[in-house]
Structures are given as C-alpha cells and as structure tokens.
Structure 1
Amino acid sequence: MFTRTFTAAPADIDELGHVNNAVWVRWIQDIAVAHWEAVAPAEHVAAHVWVVTRHEIDYRGNVGVGESVTGETWVPDPPKGARFDRHVRFVGTDARVKVAAVTTWALLDRASGRLLRVRPEIAAPFVGAR
C-alpha cells in the first residue's frame, strides 16, 4: 500500500463548505501518479504513461478547509491486457473513510501514445502490494 497525506486548502472547498468532488478526483490522480513515480523503475516512468479510463467513487464523509486525510492506494489484482484497477481510499483523522474509489487505468507508450499490454515486470511492483 502506498500512502500520502492531503490537506484541504481554501481553493478545494465548494459552496457547501467541504472538499469539492472534482478535488477528490484530482487527489486520486495525484496519489496514483505519486505511487507510479515512487515505485516504478526510472526506465518504465520514462517510457510509459497511465491514463484513467474509469472512476467509481463513493463519497462517505466530508472534509473541511484545513482538515487532512491520508490517501491510501493499492492494486489488488493482476492487469487485464492494457488495464488494471487501482483502489484508493481517503481516511480522516477520525479513522473513518471519507472517500473510496476504484479506478481503471490503461498503459500507453509515452512516445507514440499507443495502448500497451501491461507486461508482468511493469505490474510486479504494484500488484498485490497492500
């Protein structure tokens, strides 16, 4: 499992006084990219890029300005062709899950932009690491 802390800034807050849904999506992207860059070998990061093909998000609680959450992400299952599902959750300081998501990512060749099958050596540092 890979973790990262996020703190809600004033610009992240919507008219209801809590983190805007679009910010949660940005944080999902941010933690996924940070995980890739932290774990993948440099040659994989240089040669490949991931794109989201699907988000499934459950909003379970609110976070206000100045509040922090711990983002957690993991990839429980092997890829299917060019895609795999990444799980993400954000846990508040009260130990309650505020947002939980499953996102589907596809692997592209950075130079050509073409879809690539996720080879075992690319997936190995991520799959099952929870």
Structure 2
Amino acid sequence: MTPIPFQQELTVASHHLDEQNHVNNLEYIKWVLDISEAHWTTKTPADTREKHAWFVLDHHIHYKRQAFLGEELILTTWIENYSKVKSERRVDITRKTDGKTVVEAKTNWCFIDRVTKKPSLITTAILKPYIEFDSA
C-alpha cells in the first residue's frame, strides 16, 4: 500500500504567534486538525461524511524548528497505516524556503458512525481516495 499525500500551504500571520514571537504550539495542533479535516472533506463523498466521522484518540507532536511571522509553510498529510476502526495519520510541516521540517505529527483516529457514536469498520472503499493498494 502506498499513501496518497495531500498538501496545503499557509503563511504565518501575527495571530499565530506567541509572546516569544514564534508560532504558538497550539497553532500547530490546530493546523494538524485543519489539514486532516480538509483531506477528509476534499477526498470523501458527502454521503460518506454524513454517515461517518473521525475522533482523535491521541496526538504525538515533535517540534523540530521554530516558525516566524511571514514564513510560508507547507503542510503535508497522509494515512500511514490503519486497522479495523483506527487510522494513523501523519502531518509534516515544512518551511517552503529551505524545505526544513518544522513539525512532525502523528495522530491516531477512530472511525465512527455519526448516529451511534460507536466505532465503524474502515472499508477499502473508505480508504480508496487515500491509499493506492498494491496489486499482487
């Protein structure tokens, strides 16, 4: 299986900064959630999104470098692996000017039924927009 990455770009604005004048750590978490949501809504049909959703189980974030006002960042996300009802999504945030990694994030998600709020089986049809399955 080969993940199909999804990207967005953003420019650091003043409201992203903390008292140290670099991007606030909470902004990175928000960006991880935002690109995850954008990937889901862009690649998944509306009828599927009406029936299912994702709940965060945990975040693991490695802050590697600081980002500052005006810097352009590239957010890249992909599905690293999955099981019956869980998925591990990765997000890398890199600086556009030099390609250096600013943040590496790993989030574990649980796929749920919107009505029952219980875990739901992740089918191949659900994964098709996100993963190329190797034909053997």
TM-score above 0.5: yes
How far 1:100 sits from its partner (Å)? 0.6
Q: Are 1:106 and 2:110 matched, yes or no?
A: yes
The amino acid across from 2:115 in the alignment is: A
State how 1:29-108 maps to structure 2 within 5 Å.
29-77=33-81, 79-93=82-96, 94-108=98-112
Answer yes or no: is the 8 Å Cα contact 1:17–1:64 preserved in 2: yes
The amino acid across from 2:104 in the alignment is: A
Mapped partners of 1:128, 1:72: distance in 2? 17
CA RMSD of aligned residues (A): 1.4
1:74 partner SS: strand
Q: Are 1:115 and 2:119 matched, yes or no?
A: yes
More strand by share: 2
1:84 partner SS: strand
Mapped partners of 2:65, 2:114: distance in 1? 37
Moved over 4 A (4+): none
Give structure 1 stretches of 5+ with no counterpart.
none
Q: Are 1:9 and 2:13 matched, yes or no?
A: yes
> Residues 55-110 of structure 1: CA distance to partner in whole angstroms, max 9, x if unpaired?
11111111112222000001132x21211101110110221010011111111111
Q: TM-score normalized by structure 2?
A: 0.87
How many pairs were matched up? 128
1:11 partner SS: helix
Answer yes or no: is the 8 Å Cα contact 1:74–1:128 preserved in 2: no
The structure with the largest alpha-carbon Rg is 2
The amino acid across from 2:91 in the alignment is: V
How far 1:42 sits from its partner (Å)? 1.7
How far 1:112 sits from its partner (Å)? 2.4
Answer yes or no: is the 8 Å Cα contact 1:76–1:128 preserved in 2: no
Answer yes or no: is the 8 Å Cα contact 1:76–1:127 preserved in 2: no
How far 1:27 sits from its partner (Å)? 0.1
Give structure 2 stretches of 5+ with no counterpart.
none
Identity %: 30
How far 1:128 sits from its partner (Å)? 4.9
Answer yes or no: is the 8 Å Cα contact 1:75–1:128 preserved in 2: no
Q: TM-score normalized by structure 1?
A: 0.91
